[in-house]
Every structure is written in structure tokens, then in C-alpha cells.
Amino acid sequence: MAAAPAIFMHHHTLEKERVEEIVSTIEKLSGEKVETAVFKPKKSTISAESKLYTMIPDDLFAEWLEKIGNENLTIIVLPYEHNPFQQRSYAIPKKIEDAVSLAIAESPQTIASYIRCNEEPTIGCITIGKTEWVERPGIAETLQRVFSMRLRILHIKTTKEQEIKTAALMIEMGHEALLNRRRSYFFKASDNQCHRVAAVVYAPQSILGALKLRIFLANKKRDEADNLPPGIGTLKAESLTITSPENQPFPVEYNGRKIKLHELVVESVAMKAKVVTGETSCISGEEKESIRMQNLPTDNELISFFAKKPLPLVPIAEENAFAELFTKLRDAAKMKRAYLVLLLISVLMATMGLFQNSSPTIIGAMILAPLMGPIIAFAMGAIRFDEMLMRSSAKTVLLSTMIGLMASAYLAWVMPFIHLTDQMTMRTHPTLLDLAVAIFAGIAAAYGYANSKVGESLAGVAIAVALVPPLCVSGIGIGWGSWSLFANAFLLFLANIVGIVVASGAMFYLMGYASRTYASTAFVIKLMMVAVIAIPLWLSTRTLLAEEHIYSEFSQIEKVDLPDKTARIHLSKVYYRENELYAIVTITVDRSLTTEEKNFIANEIKGRLGENVRLVFNYREIY
């Protein structure tokens, strides 16, 4: 029986000298006689069992392949400038010598099918949607695209009539061998890798998720993973039908052109002809469908959400996470008997600790205080515009405030103490630093409520933000009839509440518990609250800065030289009382000072600090 003839079939534009050179190379490597033939797409005079070495442009190869697919031929694609799709589809080496070596191997790998797209033979990838997203743009272009991303509702039907409804940014499809090689990190090894249609569905569900996925795609060092990354789904089937239920055409790119379609049918077509491939993992086996879409939006509400609005900044929390957190917050928003008992105990303990000037007692009261719960619940209700949750939590916070004020005011009225302790004074000069602490506490509290694994850290948050002590100082101000004491301490209490509400609401949004529309509206309102509370806090902060100025100046004053002696200067304390700033200064001398010398020292110090600082001198004489 005669050996199958070897033919080099080339496009008519190929120069004669190059044809002769290629034929010589094939004959030298294969050891067989090679004939030449000019490619004629409408005529096929090739005998069966032929071995064809081809240099045919991409736009002609696909149609020709469909035409001669029923012939028992072996096709060896040789690389040249007009067949890049063939090179990528069949993993053809860049050098002709290497491509010929694939064909003359002992058991060459071959592909015996091609892809048809809406009845049109196709080489290479078929893409739906924003294909430029998987390219490698600069940082600015990536950010610009990612902030305007919106998913598209698509219905996918497989050969076996399985229907998948989802919302996707992009779908990448093609021959199974090509997609397995191009996106190997998305596909598991299977018994059949060189026959079906394969697809990768890209559906990032947040801006952060899209950026993370983009970084993943740009990373070249990736291994096959059993679990798909968030926002990725894969399909393998004999055919896939993609339609738009909204009857809006979607952009499609294949065979080097871009069009818009309402429906796209991509199918794998078997053929007798075999194309030699550089793919090393082609395995013939069971042709079953593979569907991995668990990381994509499939719920109707989610699909509609992603199709109508740009991607949120962070992923929307899962339904079970929603249910668990909202159950916890709705419970925290109610004033139950246990809540009331803990509130009263914490208020009484804090008030006693303030009179005792005892930090441990006050810390214990902070831990017991249940006020954080309804405030966090109010923050969640605000970013989701949940009127019921807001009303319930606001009612609890207001009643708790009234109870705290009345209980501490009554204790102050009946107790025979009327002097300010250090612990009380500490809570009568709120500054922007206190607001910052409340903001960090709000972030931690929101995270703790949403994540049960760190819930035990909420005690530390309660200590840091200290809601009950300033409330009790306000009540003491009422009991003593001191408006300034009440107002200053209550300002700290309000600053803590505003900081917690703003920060915890922002944190809940970042964790995906609210849409961008609701959160942005609520955030504007909260920023206004911060602006209002920040004005009086800034006035107090100016006092703190004035104190810092005093400390800074005293760090440069070590001594004051007198005619026959030297006075050593030491700043003991700076405090603010009744709208005046006081500095307690210790002066150490080796002999007693005259009135004139004392006045001289006072004038020297005031010259540095300014006349608005009151000086309190403690004199120490060394003998």
C-alpha cells in the first residue's frame, strides 16, 4: 500500500523562493517527498489519506476546514504572518522546523473538531462583552474602566438543555484545547479536553473584586486550582447558546471582527480530518458537560441589581451573613429587661467611680454598659434606610441617655461631695482627638458585630470609646446645677455617638451590607453630623494646642539667671478651668527669693507664654 502523499498547500501570495525553501525544510526533516499546491478554497482535488502542510490565512482557513472536514486528512499548520489565530488555537510553535517536528513525531497529538459560531466556522476565541478589560492597560485606564463597570444579564443554555441565568461582564469561549491552555488555572483536568466548547464567564461583583481579578489575570505564575476565584465561572459542553432576555444586542468578537447579536450559538463539530497540535494534554474520553457557576450571581434579585447599577465598591454580603447580623442588631436595638439592668448598674458604678476618682471602677462600668449595641444598630439602619431599625434603636439610645442622666444627677444631688475629681475633669474638655477615637471604635465595633470570631474584642471597644462616663459627668453637672459641666461632658458623649455611627456605617458598607446609592446618601447626612459636632470640638482642640504650646516653650526653659543666684524651672502640670488656662510651675533655688525676683521670673515666663496663661508657682529652696 502506497504511503499517503505529503503536500505543501500555500496561499498564492507566498513567493516561489520561500515555497522552495519550506519544501526543502520539510523534506529534510521528514525524509519524504513533498509536493506543492496553491490553495484554492472553492476546489478540493486532494486525495484521501493525504498529509497536508498548510500556510493559509486565518480568514480562509476556517471555511476551508469545514469544507474538507469529512476527508480523511492530516493537516499540519505551519506558522507565518497571516495565521496567528491558527497558531494560538493549535499551539503551533513559532519556527517551521518545530511545527514539522510535531507532525513527524511517533504519536502526534491531533484535534478532530472545530468550532462553529452561528453556523460560521471559527478559529480562535469568541468573546462577549468588554474584552478590553482582560487586556493590560495602565493603572489609570484600569481604574477608569472598573469604576464604570456594569454587568449584563445573559441566559446560557447547554446541549443538554441546562439553563443558567446570570449577569456577566464578559464571556470568553472557544475550542476546549485552546481555553484549557489559555486559562489553565480556571479548568480542572478531565477525561476529554480536545472536543467540547469551553467558556469562562467573568462576573466580578465589586470594584475591589474586579481589581483583584485583574491582578490575578496579570500574574503569570499560576497553577491549576481546584477552586475558582470569586467572580469566575466555567462551562464545557458540546454547544452553548447565549441570549439576552432584555432583547438588547450584546457585543461579540470572533474571526477578527466585532458585531452585535441578540443570540449566539457556539458548537463543536466533529470531523474526520485531524489537525496536528502542539497541545500535550488532549485526551479522548467521556464527553460530558461541566458546569461550575457557583461564584456567579444566579439569584434574580442579585442579577437585576448588578445589571441596573455600577459595581459596588465591595462585595455584597451573603444572605446568611445578612440574616445573622440583622437578627443580632434588631435584638441589640431593643430595650429589654437585661439591657435596662446592665445600664443602671453601669451608670451607678461609673458615677461612684467618678466621685472616688477610681479608674478601675470606671473601666468596669464601661465594660458593663450595653449602649454600644443600639448605636451600632442605628448606624446599620441609617445606611440601609431601615426605618424600623432606626426607630427602635434611636428610641433605646434616647431612653438610655435619659436614664443615665437622671440616675447620675440624683446621686450627685444626694451625695455630700461638690468638688471636681481628676476623672471628672478628664471628660469636660472633649477635642477632635476624642472624635477620632470614637471613629476607630466604631470601625472596630461594626467589624466585631459582623464577625462573630472577633466579638470578644467588643469589651475593648467599649473601654476605648467610654460612652457611660461622660454621660454620668453630664448628670453630675445637672445634679450640681453646673451648666458648663453638663454641656462640656455631654458634648463628649455626643461626639462619641456621632463618631461611632459614622464609622460603623462606613464599615458596614465596606463589608457589603448596603448598596452604594443608600450608603452615599446616608454618608452625606453623617458628614453633616460630623461637621456640626466638630465645630465645638475644634474650639476645645485649640485649648489642647495652647497647652501643647506651653509644654513646648517650657522644654526650652531650664533656668532663669538672677544677679546672684539661679532659679531652676520645671513645669508640673497644665490644666484648663473656668475658661482659663493654668500652668503649675515648680521653681527651685538655693536661697529665698525677694518679691522683685519672683516678679522678674514671672515676667520672663509670661514673655514666652503670653499674658493669657495663669501661672501657679511652687517654690523650693535648697539649704
SS3 call for 165: strand
The β-bridge partners of 240 are 158, 266
Residues 6+ apart with CB under 8 A from 279: 90, 91, 109, 111, 177, 180, 181, 194
> For residue 47, what are the CA distances in angstroms to 4, 208, 230?
9, 58, 51
Largest Cα span, the chain: 132
Distance in angstroms (rounded) separating the CA atoms of residues 365 and 363: 5
Are 436 and 379 in contact, with CB atoms under 8 Å apart?
A: no
Residue 543 in any domain: the answer is no
* 175 DSSP β-pair partners: 197
Phi, psi of 290 (to 5 degrees): -130, 125
Long-range (24+ apart) CB contacts under 8 A made by 302-309 are 302/167, 303/151, 303/153, 303/165, 303/166, 303/167, 304/153, 305/515, 306/150, 306/151, 306/167, 306/203, 306/205, 307/150, 307/151, 307/152, 307/153, 307/167, 308/150, 309/150, 309/515, 309/516, 309/517
Contact 210, 149 (CB under 8 A): yes
pLDDT band at 1 (very low <50, low <70, confident <90, very high): very low
Give a yes or no: residue 551 inside a domain.
no
> Which pairs from 346-350 meet CB under 8 Å and 24+ separation?
346/370, 346/468, 347/403, 347/404, 347/407, 347/408, 347/468, 347/471, 347/472, 347/475, 348/407, 348/411, 350/408, 350/468, 350/469, 350/471, 350/472
One domain for residues 12 and 126: no
DSSP type of residue 281: -
Q: Sign of the C-alpha dihedral, residues 174, 180, 184, 186?
A: positive
Same domain, 248 and 347: no
pLDDT, one tens digit per residue, over 509-531 is 777 776 665 566 666 666 777 77
Check whether residue 389 and residue 434 sit in a common domain.
yes
CATH number at residue 149: 2.60.200.40
Q: Give residue 533's pLDDT band: very low, low, confident or very high (50, 70, 90).
A: confident
Q: Taking Cα atoms as reference points, which of 181, 156, 194 lies closest to residue 292?
A: 156
The answer to the question of residue 314 being in a domain is no
pLDDT of residue 579: 66
Q: Which three cell numbers stand for residue 145?
A: 474602566
Instruction: Name 384's bridge partners.
Output: none
Find the domain containing 612 and state its range. 557-621
What is the reported pLDDT for 141? 62
Please tell me whether residues 155 and 292 are part of one structural domain: yes
- Which of the listed residues 472, 501, 533 is the one where a domain comes to its end? 533
Residues 86 and 128 in one domain: no
Interhelix angle for 372-384 vs 483-510, to 10°? 50
Range of 185-194, 289-298, 429-438, 521-530 with top mean pLDDT? 289-298
Q: Are residues 155 and 293 in the same domain?
A: yes
Domain match, 131 and 193 both: yes
> What are the distances in angstroms from CA 551 to CA 40, 544, 598, 602, 605?
94, 11, 21, 16, 12
Average pLDDT for residues 34-44, to the nearest whole number? Answer: 81
Q: The domain that contains 500 carries what CATH number? A: 1.20.1080
Q: Of all residues in the chain, what percent are helix, strand and coil, respectively (each to 5)? A: 50, 20, 30
pLDDT in tens, 15-30: 999 999 999 999 999 8
> Are residues 468 and 345 both part of a single domain?
yes
Residue 310's Cβ-side half-sphere holds a number of Cα atoms within 13 Å equal to: 11
Q: Please tell me the predicted confidence (pLDDT) of residue 545.
A: 67
Q: Are residues 494 and 590 in the same domain?
A: no
Joined grid coordinates for residue 69: 472536514
> Parallel, antiparallel, or unpaired: how do β-strands 263-276 and 74-77 relate?
parallel
When pLDDT is averaged across residues 603-608 and rounded to a whole number, the result is: 79
Q: What are residue 126's DSSP bridge partners? A: 173
Outline where 300-371 has alpha helix (H). 300-308, 319-332, 337-356, 359-368
Spatial distance between the Cα atoms of 34 and 23, rounded to a whole number of angstroms: 6
User: What is the Cα 515 distance to its own chain's centre?
Assistant: 14
Residues 199 and 326 placed together within one structural domain of the fold: no
143 plus 252 within the same structural domain: yes
Residue 549 lies in a domain: no
Average pLDDT, the chain: 82
* Residue 365 near residue 350, CB atoms below 8 Å: yes
pLDDT band at 613; cut points 50, 70, 90? confident
Among the listed residues 539, 576, 430, 571, the one whose alpha carbon sits nearest the alpha carbon of residue 491: 430
Residue 15 falls inside a structural domain: yes
Position 423 confidence tier, pLDDT thresholds 50, 70, 90: confident
Single-letter amino acid, residue 523: F
Average pLDDT over residues 27-34: 90
Phi first, then psi: give them for residue 93, nearest 5 degrees: -65, 160
Mean pLDDT across 369-391:
85
- pLDDT at residue number 19: 93
Residues 141 and 248 in one domain: yes
Q: Give a yes or no: residue 540 inside a domain.
A: no
33 in Cβ contact with 2 (< 8 Å): no
Considering only CA atoms, which of 474, 538, 532, 473 is closest in space to residue 502?
532
Section 39-64 average pLDDT: 82
Range with the lowest mean pLDDT among 89-98, 214-223, 352-361?
214-223
CB 214 within 8 A of CB 146: yes
pLDDT tens-digit readout, 214-235 = 888 777 555 555 688 888 999 9
The total number of structural domains that make up the chain: 4
Q: State the Cα–Cα distance between residues 274 and 9, nearest whole angstrom.
A: 16
Q: 408: closest CA among 472, 485, 343, 483? A: 472
- What's the pLDDT score for residue 138? 60
The residue out of 82, 108, 134 marking a domain boundary is 108
At 29, which CATH number? 3.40.50.10330
pLDDT digits (tens, 9 = 90+) for 311-344: 777 776 665 667 777 888 888 888 888 889 989 9
Question: 215 pairs with which residues across the strands?
Answer: none
Give the end-to-end CA distance of the chain in Å, rounded to a whole number.
Answer: 128
Residue 84 near residue 58 (C-beta atoms within 8 A): yes
Neighbours of 3 (CB within 10 A): 9
Whole-number pLDDT of residue 153:
92
Q: Where among 88, 108, 128 does a domain terminate?
A: 108
Weakest-pLDDT range from 70-74, 132-136, 604-608: 132-136
- pLDDT for 373 equals 86
544 in any annotated domain = no
Q: Give a yes or no: residue 352 inside a domain.
A: yes
Read off the amino acid at residue 140. Answer: A
Query: Which pLDDT tens digit goes with each residue over 424-466?
Result: 888 887 888 888 888 888 888 887 777 665 554 455 555 556 7
